[in-house]
Structure 1
Amino acid sequence: MGRDGICRTEQEQVLCELHMKVQVSHAYSFSVVCIPEYLPELILGRLLTSGLISSADDVEEIRIDSSLKTADAILKEPLPAVNAPEPPAPIPWSPSQIFSLADRFSGGMPLHSQTFATHSCFLAREDRLLFQCEDIGRHNAVDKAVGYALRRGIPLGSCILYSSGRAPADMVLKAIRAGIPVFASKASPTAEAISLARQYHLTLICAARRDRMKLFAGAPWTSHP
């Protein structure tokens, strides 16, 4: 219905949600609401960004039921205590790298273009895009990108992560726990996120659009675009 009061019947493409419960070594569980893509990556990434593992080598096996409603993540060692993360080591970066990722997002992501119901995440290393994904939740999209890197042995300490979602403290903490030194977001941060990024020496770039960005934490770029 438009403001003019005229009603029209149209077909609309919408997403389907997947609800999945993940058991971790029969000692802990968490639930996710996501789209059914890159599920092993999502689980592996969530384990790392929750502080339950330090690398993919800590995981014995990930089993996903054929119904996609339940999954088991078996760790090689008993479930550890969650400790404070180590600060990621800074890396050189340039505005052109961030603008390039913003260009890719502005160019349109398939599901977002069709439904306007997803968040996107990009994982890059130097000037190369390594991975991109979409999901209902911005946290899921980040975890999928992290899990993708873990499964393929990509060193996260040399990567840049770009998210379409807001950047509160829990999103910043995911990047820190993953050891990612540069986190960029299309949206805005919170005061707590900025404080956390500065505490852990994370480079935090927000409001990252095609023509501008704002540096909230971390050293200025070390090379020119």
Structure 2
Amino acid sequence: MAEVKVEIVSLGSIKQLSATPNHLKHFQISLLDAIATPPSFYLPIVLFYFAFDHDFSKLSQKLKTSLSQILVPYYPFNGRIKTNKSNLYVDCNDEGVLYLEAGVPSKLSYFLKNNTNQQLNKIKGFLPLDPYKPKLDDEEDCLIMAVQVTELGCGGIAIGVCISHKVCEATSVASFLKAWPQKAMEEGSEVASSSPLNMEASLLFRPRA
């Protein structure tokens, strides 16, 4: 089954609502994370939502606004991976995450009715980049997070997210994917002031001196 070709409508970046404090500008990547995965390896996630009555442009704007808010406690996602001697760290410079809007005429049922191998090929188009072989511009080769929101022909949407495996693991990703829609639906109260990410990994697996 051939990969579905989606049409990219717009491409930009989303920055967090408020600047990262100076004392949090440096997010150290642990030795284990630095050597365990290839430099450009992303955790890929695609979430499908059935058709409902909505204006896609308004929905996307709501997702952008809530993403900007929820990125405050997940501030490393806005930064870029840098190298200091032989060590990797995140420069939390608030450059933002890549955000794409796209469309595809196919219905949601088309992507859910076949076997796993066929599904895998079909959903690649819903990801903002290839998680294993990303083709990025030079200024984006250390990108940490990218998002793609795709409108389906039936009115449903697909949200594809790629997050650097060197910066976060499954627990942090699950936490983020729970917090973002809650904020979009205004179920979240105030944006947390501290990061839900595991900040202790670099203490347990210290980088090279």
TM-score above 0.5, yes or no: no
When Rg is computed on C-alpha atoms for both structures, the one with the higher figure is 1
The two structures have a TM-score, normalised by structure 1, of 0.26
The two structures have a TM-score, normalised by structure 2, of 0.28
Higher relative contact order (CA 8 A, sep 6+): 2
